[in-house]
Structure formats: C-alpha cells, structure tokens
Amino acid sequence: MFILGILFWFLFTIVIYIVLNRIYQVWPYPFLIPILTGTTLLVLILTTMDISYDTYFSGGKYIDAFLGPAIVALAFPLYKQRKLLERYKKELLSTVLYASLLGILSGYWLTMLFGFEAVITSSFVPKNVTTPVAMEVAKIIGGEPALAVIFVMIAGIGGAVTGPWVLKRFNISNFLGIGMAFGAASHAIGTAKALEYGQEEAAVSSIGMSLCALCVSIIAPILINWL
C-alpha cells in the first residue's frame, strides 16, 4: 500500500505537469506557465483534501531527486555554447558579476528594510540562483534551505511571468539581453521561458544561470559576512 502511494503521487505530479503544459502551449499566457499553475493546483488539492506534505513528498521526492543531476547536466549546454561564451565573454561575464551582486544586495537590503530576522535574510540572499545551489549557499551563510527554496520559486515564477512585460516595456529584443535577463534573475524557470524566444536566448540564459550560480556561491558568503 505504501509503495502504491509513492507511485501514485509520483505519477500524479507528472500527469498534472503534462496536462498544464499542454494548456500553456495552446494558451501561452505568462500566468499559465506550468510551474505556477502546477504548484498552485497541487497546493489547493493537498489543502482541500487535508493531505500532509509528507504524504505527498513520499512520491514527490523522487522528482526532487533529479534536481541535482539536472544542475550537473548544465555543463553540457555550456560546453555546446562555448563558442558563444568566447565571442561575448566580456559582456556575459560582466553582466553575470553585476547580476550576482545585485541579487545578493537586493535580497539583503530588502529584508533589512522590513526588519526580518537574520535567518530570513540569509535564506533570501541566494534567491536568483537555482534551487540546489541556493540551498547550499543559504546553509553556509546561516539561512534555512527550506525557506531558500520558497524564495527561489518566487523569483523564478515572478521572473517568468513578468519578464516578457519588462522586456517589452524597455524594448529589449537582443538575444543576449533576453537570455541574461531570464537566466541571471530567474534561473531554470527563466531559462525554460527564454527557450520560447529561441535557441540563442535559451543558450545565453543557460550560461547566465550557470555562471550566476557559481558566482553567488563564491561571493555571497564573503559579502554577507562583511556586511
């Protein structure tokens, strides 16, 4: 019975994603991205049916287990786009550094402005890097990894939903600007959104996401201790 429960929640999550992704393909509105609608639907189902998170996660954890390998796999698209990285290395590296510093400092100053506890500040700081990296960074600087996951989701979904409007509002159409905006601010979720713009945008977004993860993991512990 326990094994059936694990299998059910595992398949249930995948089916929800497939259905909602199909809906998004038919009606590609920003607020219908599967990560947003899927998360919302799962929360509503679990709360309405009074199902504990532990029960759901008995199967969901097997999907979560793919996060680590997925991040390691980012080395492959980086390798494939090495010529692009070499061609625009000054632009990409300077933007990554700026985005990493802005992500760290904006998280720090925003939480300080509202008087949040130190643990929330440390959990919020790595919001613009992908989940596994953010969890480790949060742990190193005194944050709570579980909280870091929530903030990463908010940053990712927020960027994917509002990003198209911001790009249109400021008339940003260059593939470098689009890719770096999504990858550096909204990590994997943003990269998935960048793919809708084209292969070059997705490649740049993947580069931005990967390099920002590396940059933040090095800078954040030093900068937060100094602040």
Task: Read off the pLDDT of residues 60-90 as tens digits, 9 standing for 90 and up.
Answer: 777 777 766 766 666 676 677 778 778 888 8
> What percent of the chain is modeled with pLDDT above 70?
94
Q: For residue 2, what pLDDT is reported?
A: 61
Over 80: is that where the pLDDT of 43 sits? yes
Q: Report d(CA 72, CA 205) in Å as an integer.
A: 16
Q: Please answer whether residues 126 and 216 qualify as being in contact, where contact means their C-beta atoms are separated by less than 8 angstroms.
A: yes
Chain mean pLDDT for the chain: 85
75 vs 128, higher pLDDT: 128
What residues does each domain of the chain span? 2-65, 72-226
Q: Report d(CA 56, CA 9) in Å as an integer.
A: 6
Q: For residue 215, what pLDDT is reported?
A: 92
Q: Report d(CA 210, CA 162) in Å as an integer.
A: 22
Q: For residue 187, what pLDDT is reported?
A: 85
Average pLDDT over residues 173-198: 88
Over 60: is that where the pLDDT of 91 sits? yes
Q: For residue 98, what pLDDT is reported?
A: 93
Q: φ, ψ for residue 203 (rounded to 5)?
A: -65, -45
Q: pLDDT digit string (tens) for 132-160?
A: 889 889 999 999 988 898 899 889 888 88
Over 70: is that where the pLDDT of 9 sits? yes
Residues 6+ apart with CB under 8 A from 101: 219, 223
